[in-house]
Amino acid sequence: MGRTGTAMDDLLNDFLAETAEILAEAGGAIVAWEADPADHAQLDAIFRFVHTIKGSSGFLALPRITALSHAAEDALDQVRRGNRQANAALVSGVLGILDRLSDLCTALGQNGTEPAGDDRDVIGALAEQGSTLDAPFEVAGVPLRREDDFSAELQSWRSIRVPLPLLDSVMTGVTDIVLARNEFARMLRESGADLSVIASFDRLSDSIAGMRQSVSQMRMQRIDKLFAPLPRIVRDLAQEMGKKIAFQTSGGEVELDREMMENIRDPLIHIVRNAIDHGIEALEDRVAAGKDITATISVSARQSGNQIEIAIQDDGRGLSPDALVAKAVASRAVTAAEARALGSKEKLELIFRPGFSTAAKVTAISGRGVGMDIVKANVEKIGGVVELRNEEGRGLTILLRVPMTLTIISGLMVRAAGQYFAIPRGAVREILLEGGDTVRVDRVGGGELATVRGEQYPLLRLETVLGRGRHHGDDVDDRALVIVRPGQGQSYALSVAAIHDHEELVIKPAAPMIMATGLYAGTTLPDNGRPVLLLDVQGMLAASGIDASETGRSHDRMAEAEAEAAAARNAAQLLLFRDTNARVRGIRLSVIERVEEIPASALFESAGRVQVQIGDDIFPVHAASLPGGEGALKLLRLYDGLAVLCYPIAEVIDIVRLPDAVQPSAAPGLIAGVVLVGGEPVELIDPFWLMEQYAGGAAAPTLRQPLCRLADDRDGWGGNFLAPILRNAGYRVISGDEPSDEAPDVLLCLTAEGEDCGHAGGSVPVIRLRNSVAAAGPGDETVYRYDRQALLDALRDRVGSARA
Amino acid sequence: MMDKLYLVARIADTRVALRSRAINSVVTVGTPVEVPAAPPHVAGLFALRSRVFTLIDPHVVIGLPPVLVAPGQRVIVVEVAEHGYALLADEIEDVCFIEAPETRIAGKLLPGWARVADAMIEHRGASLLVVDPSHFITLPALKAA
């Protein structure tokens, strides 16, 4: 039975469209479920997803897809029955199957047939970990499908798929009907028709209006669809880069035109990837910066008027304007002279320059040099704007503001030079009369300036911008002033002959040569049937060459926020962690230098103490014995200004503000007391006691180790026998011949008795070593060369202890 | 067959033949809406059903002074790169099949016409220029404006 019939093709297309949607949603659901394996609603939802795919593919005779979905369904069902644990391996296995399904569907869409191949690798990966647990459990009498599976399936039958061009043609048809209605209404009025005719026409008119409304809604989709693939992307990328990221979305119920959705999908994904790759710091850097280990990325949508605002917020390092400038200069995007002239906002906007990539090095995830410029171009193409809200060191918010639909915006109709123009309502902040009391217009050096309640705006006259003379019929004294805000931080006053009204406008792009003027954003056809040009409020600024930035207007508010944030930073913070014995403990964040992640093999036991080698340094570890096991180990690295001590932990939980109330311990010890964090008792580590235990311990490096110079070491005894002991005791040793920039702290003379030490002199203390056990007399200050204790004592007397 | 169907019209004071497959329709327009600051060959905008069309004055493209649009004037509607345009026509003569083949342009044309004309064709004892309407949409870079 070939798949030649049209009915079969339709079925296949429906299957592909449906599966593509399911796969996108399932990815997000699985990641959510991984975060909370107890969430049965999510598990059931995922089960239904794969079950639906399995059912449809069986009907269409697609054996590979059936087998894959069956494997996933099987594994998930084991979890539902409690036979199998949900863990990262299982989740990765299921995700692997979803990926393979997605690949197969792509191939299916291109060729119309399922490609031949072997899926045992992904199915096997999923089955492996399950097999050991599955066997002993056999639960009888559990229904394979539960009632809610059926009800959810029924839901999907309540909607149908309609090709987008069909929707478009319905939309065009309705717009035509509206225009015809308006013309008809005008004719009715002019002909002085019967009241009953007018009444029934009004009924028709109302239903047309209702229909127009429904048609525009038909094109709308919940923005959830756009957010669905993001959790998966964040999970995979965070895992790959070893970052901990909490991802959240909100405002998924906001609706957006399907076409707009297509246009912002890629920009959105790109911004999220960028945030993970460049925005979020590595774990250690976050601790060092006093931030929560788990970074937060949130994507939220909200509707404001006819615009949708999508904010992608992260609490990473933000953008550094200076670094951006340095990079732009280095990559020759701007010259050094240009860079100096840039304002802080313009510096940030360097990231929108083509070919600009903020990553210090190019990574596989992003930073390929294609990026924010494309994002900006895509968003602007659909009449949107991209804004940056940067808090250096504390995060970046990227705001995408796009019109709700490509087609309908609310516009303000204004008149100038005898014709009508539309201004997008979203950009209009205020409308005033030019001759009104609150407005003062000044001519300054050929330009005009409008002062409204103390705030100054550059003034543009629409006729001048358009290169037209004032229309003879326009009242000179009755002009209106529109305060326009084309983008964040910019505003100007636009003087027009008159304000007409607000209208919902269907916007279409104008012909390229009209768009090329830079003054217009499109054309629209209001109900009277005469085309109207939509003004490009940003383009008019550029065309007039006016700087409309509002710099320095909101200083107070920013300073306030700054102070508040500084206060929050100054409060003592507590790092919560899980101890190696699974107890939740806390320690003041300020004593932690960083969190080290090291292989367990870096720990060793020496002289009764556990120590760790990190890089070229060896530090003591607070542990009674070597922890067993393989793999990685996390260490808190405490630093008191002189010495380092490592404290092994299982994991870092959080950073919280240190509560004021501490219940102190009865006796000094590791635990200084107990505090309540989120209603749970947390043992507070006493760093003072802890450091005291190890102070003077084995090889704690000090800031500066005293320097010993061995003088007259003729036979090498000093270098071979003495130096290791000295080094072990925390001294640096140089022999007599080695040149050194540094004056030695002590001189050890190895010369035979009676001879003068050749290097003696100056203020450097000298210790003489003698070869005989017995001292020459009561006044003999020399030290027998094999008397280790006497030698170290003598050194300590002269220069102080090498140890902290 | 369609290949042989031409619209014979007088545009920019010259009789021309336009291949019918390049043409959408011929309609009459009222007063167009002006587009301030647009290139000079843009005579304005007008609506046809629910679409907005850009009106092009071929006179300007050829290098002649622009003409005023008279109400009820006929225009030739064409579509170029998904945008609707209309060429102002001085007169629409006929839509007819022309059996004669298109021939290479003989003789020297004015530069404006040389840019828009593709070929020549014989029709009822006269030589007509065969022009491509899409060539009227873009204005040549103005030499000395």
Asked if A234 and A272 touch (Cβ cutoff 8 Å), the reply is yes
Option in A419, A513, A533 nearest B39 (CB): A513
d(C-alpha A312, C-alpha A480), whole Å: 38
Query: Hey, is the C-beta of B136 within 8 angstroms of any chain A C-beta?
Result: no
| Predicted TM-score (pTM) above 0.90 | no
Q: Do A512 and B83 touch (CB under 8 A)?
A: yes
Q: Quick one: closest CA in B to A514, which residue?
A: B38
Q: What are phi and psi of A105, to 5 degrees?
A: -65, -35
Summarised one tens digit per residue, pLDDT across range A316-350 is: 888 888 888 888 888 777 788 877 878 788 888 88
pLDDT interval class at A305 (50, 70, 90): low
Option in B38, B46, B47 nearest A513 (CB): B38
Report the residue of B33, B34, B35, B77 to disrupt the A interface, i.e. the one with the largest count of A CBs within 10 Å. B35
- The mean predicted confidence, pLDDT, of chain A is 76
pLDDT interval class at B124 (50, 70, 90): confident
For residue A701, the model assigns a pLDDT of 47
A179, A183, A209, A417 from A204: Cα distances, Å: 13, 14, 9, 37
Backbone conformation region of residue A272, classed left if phi is above 0, alpha if psi is from -120 to 50, else beta: alpha
Would the pLDDT of A607 be above 90?
A: no
A275, A364, A356: which is closest to A317 by C-alpha?
A275
Q: How far is A517 from chain B (nearest CA, A)?
A: 6
Query: Hey, is the C-beta of A531 within 8 angstroms of any chain B C-beta?
Result: yes
d(C-alpha A747, C-alpha A609), whole Å: 32
Q: Which residue has the higher pLDDT, A158 or A256?
A: A256
Asked if A231 and A32 touch (Cβ cutoff 8 Å), the reply is yes
Q: Which residue has the higher pLDDT, B130 or A444?
A: B130
Q: Which of residues 51-90 of B touch A (CB under 8 A)?
A: 51-52, 54, 81, 83, 85
Q: How far is A490 from chain B (nearest CA, A)?
A: 24
Query: Hey, is the C-beta of A168 within 8 angstroms of any chain B C-beta?
Result: no
A32, A86, A402 from A54: Cα distances, Å: 22, 21, 38
Query: Hey, is the C-beta of A505 within 8 angstroms of any chain B C-beta?
Result: no
Q: Quick one: closest CA in A to B41, which residue?
A: A513
Asked if A480 and A493 touch (Cβ cutoff 8 Å), the reply is no
pLDDT interval class at A486 (50, 70, 90): confident
A212, A383, A425, A486 from A306: Cα distances, Å: 17, 12, 9, 15
Query: Hey, is the C-beta of A233 within 8 angstroms of any chain B C-beta?
Result: no
Q: Tell how many helices (H) and how many strands (E) occur in chain A.
A: 24, 34
For residue A737, the model assigns a pLDDT of 67
Asked if A312 and A272 touch (Cβ cutoff 8 Å), the reply is yes
Q: With beta carbons under 8 A apart, name residues in chain B contacting A208.
A: none
Asked if A761 and A736 touch (Cβ cutoff 8 Å), the reply is no
Q: Which residue has the higher pLDDT, A247 or B82?
A: A247
Summarised one tens digit per residue, pLDDT across range A272-301 is: 988 888 888 888 888 888 888 889 999 998
Q: Do B36 and A179 touch (CB under 8 A)?
A: no
A674, A676, A686: which is closest to A647 by C-alpha?
A686
Q: How far is B127 from chain A (nearest CA, A)?
A: 33
Q: At A221, which helix (H) or strand (E)?
A: strand A220-222
Please tell me whether residue A475 adopts helix, strand or coil conformation: coil
For residue A568, the model assigns a pLDDT of 54
Quote the tokens at residue A482. Answer: 């529109």
Would the pLDDT of A312 be above 90?
A: yes
Q: What are phi and psi of A67, to 5 degrees?
A: -65, -40
What ipTM is given for this predicted complex?
A: 0.86
Select the highest-mean-pLDDT range: A236-250, A408-422, A459-473, A475-489.
A236-250
Report the residue of B45, B56, B60, B135 to disrupt the A interface, i.e. the one with the largest count of A CBs within 10 Å. B45
A309, A345, A482, B6 from A384: Cα distances, Å: 10, 19, 21, 44
Option in A466, A468, A523 nearest B52 (CB): A523
Q: Do B50 and A531 touch (CB under 8 A)?
A: no
Would the pLDDT of A387 be above 90?
A: no
Q: Do A512 and B47 touch (CB under 8 A)?
A: no
Q: With beta carbons under 8 A apart, name residues in chain B contacting A511.
A: 42, 54, 83, 85, 137
Would the pLDDT of A186 be above 60?
A: yes
For residue A747, the model assigns a pLDDT of 82
Q: What is the mean pLDDT of residues A506-518?
A: 79
Summarised one tens digit per residue, pLDDT across range B44-74 is: 898 887 778 999 988 888 888 888 888 778 8
Summarised one tens digit per residue, pLDDT across range A746-789 is: 888 877 555 556 555 567 788 888 877 777 777 777 888 888 88
d(C-alpha A317, C-alpha A291), whole Å: 10
A285, A236, A183, A117: which is closest to A529 by C-alpha?
A183
pLDDT interval class at A139 (50, 70, 90): very low
Asked if A123 and A68 touch (Cβ cutoff 8 Å), the reply is yes
A199, A240, A311, A563 from A558: Cα distances, Å: 58, 37, 20, 9
Query: Hey, is the C-beta of A306 within 8 angstroms of any chain B C-beta?
Result: no
Q: Which of residues 415-434 of A touch B (CB under 8 A)?
A: 417, 419
Q: How far is B37 from chain A (nearest CA, A)?
A: 6
Give the angle A731-A732-A734 at the CA atoms, nearest 5°: 135
For residue A757, the model assigns a pLDDT of 60
Looking at residue A348, the DSSP 8-state letter turns out to be: H
pLDDT interval class at A218 (50, 70, 90): confident
Query: Hey, is the C-beta of B140 within 8 angstroms of any chain A C-beta?
Result: no
Q: Do A519 and B37 touch (CB under 8 A)?
A: yes
For residue A31, the model assigns a pLDDT of 78
A119, A281, A325 from A357: Cα distances, Å: 39, 17, 12
